Amino acid sequence: MTRPVPQGPDARRELPAVHVVLAEPALASLAAAPAAARRAAAAAAVASARRRLAESGGRAPDSAELAAAARAALERARRPPLCRVVNATGVPLHTNLGRAVLAPAAIAAVVEAASRYSNLEYDLDAGARGSRTALVEPLVREVTGAEAALVVNNNAAAVFLCLRALAEGREVVVSRGELVEIGDGFRVPDVMRESGARLVEVGTTNRTHTADYERAIGPDTALLFKAHPSNFRIRGFTAEVDAAALAALAHAHGLAAVMDLGSGLLRRLAVPAAGGAEPVVADLLAAGLDLVMFSGDKLVGGPQCGIVAGRRAVVERLRRHPLARALRVDKMTLAALVATLALYRDGRAAEVPTVAMLAASPKALRRDAASLVRRLRRAAAGRAEVRLVAGASEAGGGSLPDVALPTALVAVRAPAVGAARLAARLRRGTPAVVARIEDDALLFDPRTLLRGDARILEERLGAALLPEPSGRER
Ligand SMILES: *Cc1c(COP(=O)(O)O)cnc(C)c1O
- The response to whether residue 260 sits with its C-beta less than 6 Å from ligand 1 reads yes
- The response to whether residue 334 sits with its C-beta less than 6 Å from ligand 1 reads no
CA–CA distance, 205 with 199 (Å, rounded to integer): 16
CA–CA distance, 290 with 313 (Å, rounded to integer): 9
CA–CA distance, 121 with 152 (Å, rounded to integer): 16
- The response to whether residue 156 sits with its C-beta less than 6 Å from ligand 1 reads yes
β-partners of residue 173 are 200, 224
Q: Which atom of ligand 1 is nearest to the CA of 231?
A: 15
Quick one: pLDDT at residue 6? 55
Q: Are 321 and 288 in contact (CB under 8 A)?
A: no
CA–CA distance, 393 with 436 (Å, rounded to integer): 11
How many CB atoms are located within 10 Å of the residue 235 CB? 8
Quick one: pLDDT at residue 43? 95
Residue 404 Cα to ligand 1 middle (Å): 21
Residue 261 Cα to ligand 1 middle (Å): 8
Cα-only R_g, the chain? 28
Q: Which atom of ligand 1 is nearest to the CA of 304?
A: 7
Nearest CA to ligand 1 atom 6: 155
Residue 208 Cα to ligand 1 middle (Å): 22
Mutate to test the pocket of ligand 1, among 152, 265, 295, 307 (most ligand atoms within 8 A of CB): 295
Mutate to test the pocket of ligand 1, among 155, 294, 333 (most ligand atoms within 8 A of CB): 155
Cis bond before residue 431 (omega within 30° of 0): yes
| Residue ranges, the chain, pLDDT below 70 | 1-9, 275, 468-474
Mutate to test the pocket of ligand 1, among 95, 152, 182, 278 (most ligand atoms within 8 A of CB): 182
- Sheet containing strand 306-310, strands side by side: 148-152, 306-310, 291-295, 256-262, 221-227, 171-175, 198-202
Quick one: pLDDT at residue 2? 47
Nearest CA to ligand 1 atom 12: 262
Residue 272 Cα to ligand 1 middle (Å): 25
The one-letter code for the residue type at 157 is A
Q: Are 467 and 69 in contact (CB under 8 A)?
A: no
Q: Which of 436, 343, 448 is nearest to 395 (CA)?
A: 448
Nearest CA to ligand 1 atom 13: 262
Quick one: pLDDT at residue 388? 98
Residues 6+ apart with CB under 8 A from 219: none
Quick one: pLDDT at residue 269? 82
